[in-house]
Amino acid sequence: MTHPTTVRRFGVALAALTLATTACTSSGGEAETQSNSAAPEDTAPAELVITPDDGSEQLEPNSPIQVTAEHGVITDVQVDQVVPTEAGVEGGEAAEDPLEMTGRLSEDETEWTSDWALTPGAEVVVTATAANAAGEETELVHEFTTLPATPGMKLELASNFPTSGDTVGVGMPVVINFDLPVTNKEQVENSMEVTAEQDIDGAWNWVSDQMAVFRTEEYWEPYQNVTVDLHLAGVEASEGVYGARNYQIDFEVGRELIATQHVPDHEMDITIDGEHERTIEVSNGMGTTRAYTTTTGTHVFMERYRHLTMDSATLGVPADSPGGYRVDVQYAIRTSNSGEFIHEADYNPNIGSANTSHGCTNMRSEDARWMFENILMGDILDTTGTDRQIEWNNGWGYWEKSWDEWLEGSVTGEPQTTDGSGTPGSVFGETE
């Protein structure tokens, strides 16, 4: 699809228009006579119309703003939103919002439509400016209020990975957890925009009604900054439930670290930026049961622990039963939600020679510590050689889906390019 034009400032367009109206002047007699006989330019003042109407009250937050111009072109649209500090108190303070309102300008520059919904419970001021062919400006201001979100029915961000300031690996997904279920997934999906210094296609998938995940077609290019703008304010996530506010997440993609292991070989190879860095002897799952089989597939390193108690009871096997265990380990990094970690296991004499663990990847303390100190959340572990495949929704096993399968899992069905050109569709749903 063709992405909309984002409108912020219009000075350059107006300057071009002014130059065009003055380019026919000349000091030559014949040219001067032709200029004097030309039809006079249209100097009718530009006329503006803004929707919603001036003075409207308690509008639904997911109401779009629309501006149209006649006898001229739109040169600027500013949308200011103020949220009162307390109900019933006059005045207020500007909403603490990291994201400004942007909009789409038609090709002929006579229609402008807001990209995003409005903040619930806000006093909104829309200031639009248009200019006629002579460069004369007309300004129109509309003021109105939006319906506040009902307590207990405000969609907010419960958690996210990564968080602002994180440096992550090239396989890092963007994981968004909401505090309430989302039924209008398309509107919410279209409110979440990912931009990066290196352009790449990506798409959102819904792991559950409260969890959305963005994954790129290929791994991120290393050494770049990524921004996630969550334009949630005013989006109707489900009937009567509106996004409470906007969020912005900034993180950095670091170097490319890829770990690979073929389980029967009892070793793991580490490359950084394509160069071999380290070979580590390991012991993987004994494979006597499915639970004790290391999973094959593309894993993404998740959370890590300096100290961790490994307890088979979390897998439904009591520690005091046959095959059960409870052991304290160091330098543990999670690779799935089904209990798999890489970790120190100096108690295992078979590291480098046999697979005797309960499914985890055991290492000697020195190697486990190196991994703990050098692995980033989002780094990749590719494992082969077992008959148990990691599920796409087990931990961050999202790379188990092909790109076509991942794209099919998007509610919009279209990729979102990280070049800042916008999301695939509208946040307004049927109200637009």
Find out whether 175 and 161 touch, Cβ atoms under 8 Å: yes
The residues with which 236 forms a beta bridge, in sequence order, are: 242
Classified as helix, coil or strand, 116 is coil
Euclidean distance between CA atoms 4 and 106, whole angstroms: 8
Instruction: Pick the closest to residue 401 from 331, 271, 305, 297 (CA basis).
Output: 297
d(CA 9, CA 74): 10
- The pairing of strands 73-83 and 93-94 is antiparallel
How far is 313 from 290, CA to CA, in rounded Å? 15
The active-site residue out of 142, 299, 343, 358 is 343
- Is 360 a catalytic site residue? yes
Beta strands, E only, 40-153: 47-51, 66-70, 73-83, 93-94, 103-105, 111-114, 123-131, 137-145
Rounded distance between C-alpha atoms, residue 146 and residue 154, angstroms? 14
Q: Which of 142, 266, 358, 360 is catalytic?
A: 360
Give catalytic residue positions.
343, 360
